[in-house]
Amino acid sequence: MEVVVMPSYEAMSLAAAKLVADILNAKPNAVLGMATGSTPLGVYQELVRMHREEGLDFAQVTTFNLDEYVGLPRQHTQSYHYFMHENFFRHVNVSPGNIYIPSGTTSNYRSFCDWYEQRIKDCGGIDVQILGIGSDGHIAFNEPGSSLSSRTRLKTLAKSTIDDNARFFDRPSDVPIYAITMGVGTILEARQLVLLATGANKSQAVAAMVEGPVTSMTTASALQLHPSAQVFLDESAASELKMREYYDWVKIKKPHAPPV
Ligand code: GLP
């Protein structure tokens, strides 16, 4: 796992966006794994800017989103369908037929989840998966206790996640209790993982993910098992890390390492 601490949210977002753009430039038909939440918004804004100003091309790209609330129709302003459309897809040239987001309104979740897994495989697997982290250390909606080999499935949200998300809804009782989410095992199969975290309220989850044991109680700790995972942090999200000096040392020295 490579831990990169950047001086600000903006700097962190630009660095992660550049990484995605480099992958896209090398492989124009890359499969991108998308995440929702406020954290990746800066990455999406930078990718949109690159598309407009530098011609970054999404015409051949396929995307798979991590998760969706159960029960919210796609036009609901808090659905992840709506979020992705508003914040990214309507600003770039991804072909609508190449956009996959789990359905929160299917009549058969089991078969939808199987189909979603199969679509990822049929599209060649995810080249780079963007991730955020919940304050309880979850990735996507893989709450504490989720199997580290879990696949796309229906998940009951933790009370802390429901509370975290309540700020986006008119009434606490409007917050969905269930979600459909890629599993930890699904996420680990992406060729590259890029996780972003910002703010002091993520610092404990980040420390548990990076320096704690690999445990289903912090599903983000599964990134330790991945051969190519990068974690981009701002100063406050990094504030609880014990090995901080080493991460900064690597950042300085890595560009001068012999080519691999
Ligand atoms: C939700 C999403 C996660 C996201 C998390 C943190 O739980 N399912 O994918 O990482 O929120 O969101 P934020 O970036 O807004 O803190």
Query: pLDDT tens-digit profile of 152-163?
Result: 999 999 999 999
Task: Report whether residue 58 contacts ligand 1, using a CB cutoff of 6 Å.
Answer: no
Task: Report whether residue 134 contacts ligand 1, using a CB cutoff of 6 Å.
Answer: yes
Over residues 153-181, mean pLDDT: 93
Q: How far is the CA of 87 from the centre of ligand 1 (A)?
A: 15
Closest atom, ligand 1, to C-alpha of 67: 8
- pLDDT band of residue 134 (cuts 50, 70, 90) is very high
- In this prediction, residue 180 carries a pLDDT of 98
pLDDT, mean over the chain: 97
Name the residues annotated as catalytic.
67, 136, 138, 143
Task: Report whether residue 132 contacts ligand 1, using a CB cutoff of 6 Å.
Answer: yes
Nearest CA, atom 2, ligand 1: 140
Give yes or no for a contact between 139 and 216, defined as CB atoms under 8 angstroms apart: no
- In this prediction, residue 260 carries a pLDDT of 81
Q: Which two tokens stand for residue 256?
A: 């001068």
Task: Report whether residue 35 contacts ligand 1, using a CB cutoff of 6 Å.
Answer: yes
Between 85-89, 170-174, 198-202, 223-227, the lowest mean confidence (pLDDT) is in: 170-174
